[in-house]
Structure 1
Amino acid sequence: METKPAEPMRRDAGISWLVSRIRPRAGRTLVGIDGVDGAGKTTFADDLAAELADSGLTVIRISLDDFLNPAEVRHAKGRTSPEGFLADSYDYQRFTDDVLEPLGSDGCGRYRAKSYDGLTETPVSPPWQVAPDAAVVVVDGLFLHRDRLRNARGRKVWDLSVWLDVPFEESVRRLAQRDGSPSDVDDPRIRRYVEGQRRYIERYRPAERADLVIDNT
């Protein structure tokens, strides 16, 4: 197996690195794009997917944000709980059943791309889709390197995974511009999210688990 790059890459070089390693692969390939809120996960995943499609590959785009738990589960530990944000935000069982298992290299290919609408806070059951035997599945989301997303042998489920490295001060600034949220990383109104993600980084060390680290500041 090729050695992981020793230093973080810039985003364009990182996308080229990923494309060069994905194209020769046979069957389906699961690619996870991880990072804190505001790190640029969706944009990076979309750009990678476009590059892969331009090279002639079939690409399936999935977002973990479409597999939220219902609000009563997400806030079961309290609406300000950082541990609740880390532990209870996502329905990993449904994500595994509908995405990871069917779209893995040995999966049947019959998948669903969404289980929950966060805007309306309602469960959804879109029609099943069937992926071709050769496809690249690009998933963006928080907490993609946590232990819940490891196989029975303790290895991460991703064939390739990325950690987008962005300081909290910058990611919070971006979120403030995008969503109107507080711009101060120490603001108590966003403590649940910032502290929950800090715990994730300290507990699971995603930069070490990822195959590639991107400086996306």
Structure 2
Amino acid sequence: MPDVQVTPISPERLAELLADRIDALDPGDRRLRVAIDGAPAARPGELADALVEPLRLRGRPVLRVSAADFLRPASVRLEYGKQDADAYHDLWLDDGALLREVLDPLEPGGSGRVLPTFWDAAADRASRARYVELAPRGVLLLDGPLLLGRWLPLELAVHLFLSPGALARRTPEDERWTLPAFARYADETGPTDLADLTVRTDDLRHPALVERT
């Protein structure tokens, strides 16, 4: 096993450090695709939002996209019931739509035209969003759970790690049926191994950056 270094870091410094890492990925005009992966209790959307301004200050246009807006229709998601953890793990995310409408157009030489939302899960219909164009040097910031291990083309993947105890404590009662899905994800996918960077978030006020040495 590789050695790891765990460095406590403030949320503000974490955002600045990640913005530096992202900006350094390509000094040219290439569009970059970055995923912030984590259970809802780890609040991946908050970290993605915190990166927007630091990246723009570095001259990077930013587009925010959430996996929650790329779910499959209820007829597919809920085929096995409203609280089936295996379906949540395997079926909820429409990764085909995410590839087609967001990630593939940002390949080198791609059009850069992205559909920022695809499916309105509450209304269970297409979101009817309009395409937007991410300018050269732009950064896509995608947040959501269970994103890794799906062969999504990404320039950087950040995983927000929660210990099983912290995950259980911070997951609301009405969402605890999802916990077996995250246990599967940890065991079968190994997101800490797949991610380029891992951040421990048992205490959101005091995250810690985990790096292989």
**Distance in structure 1 (CA, Å) of the matches to 2:180 and 2:49:** 27
Number of the residue aligned with 1:88: 91
Which aligned runs of 4 or more in structure 1 are off by greater than 4 angstroms? none
Number of the residue aligned with 2:107: 104
Number of the residue aligned with 2:23: 23
Number of the residue aligned with 1:153: none
**Distance in structure 2 (CA, Å) of the matches to 1:75 and 1:202:** 24
SS of 1:38's equivalent in the other structure is helix
Deviation, 1:204, is 0.7
Number of the residue aligned with 2:162: 166
When residues 132 and 19 of structure 1 are mapped into structure 2, their CA distance, relative to the original with a 3 A threshold, is same
Deviation, 1:172, is 4.2
Aligned CA RMSD, in angstroms, stands at: 2.3
When residues 103 and 143 of structure 1 are mapped into structure 2, their CA distance, relative to the original with a 3 A threshold, is same
TM-score w.r.t. structure 1 length? 0.82
Q: How many residues align?
A: 197
Deviation, 1:167, is 2.5
Contact kept? 1:7, 1:213, Cα under 8 Å: no
Q: Which runs of 5+ in 2 are unaligned?
A: 203-213
**Distance in structure 2 (CA, Å) of the matches to 1:15 and 1:4:** 24
**Distance in structure 1 (CA, Å) of the matches to 2:4 and 2:51:** 18
2:185 to 200, 206, 217: 200
Deviation, 1:175, is 4.0
TM-score w.r.t. structure 2 length? 0.83
Contact kept? 2:119, 2:126, Cα under 8 Å: yes
1:190 to 173, 176, 180: 176
Deviation, 1:13, is 4.1
Deviation, 1:4, is 10
When residues 77 and 137 of structure 1 are mapped into structure 2, their CA distance, relative to the original with a 3 A threshold, is same
Deviation, 1:117, is 1.0
Deviation, 1:131, is 1.5
1:51 to 50, 54, 60: 54
Contact kept? 2:85, 2:180, Cα under 8 Å: yes
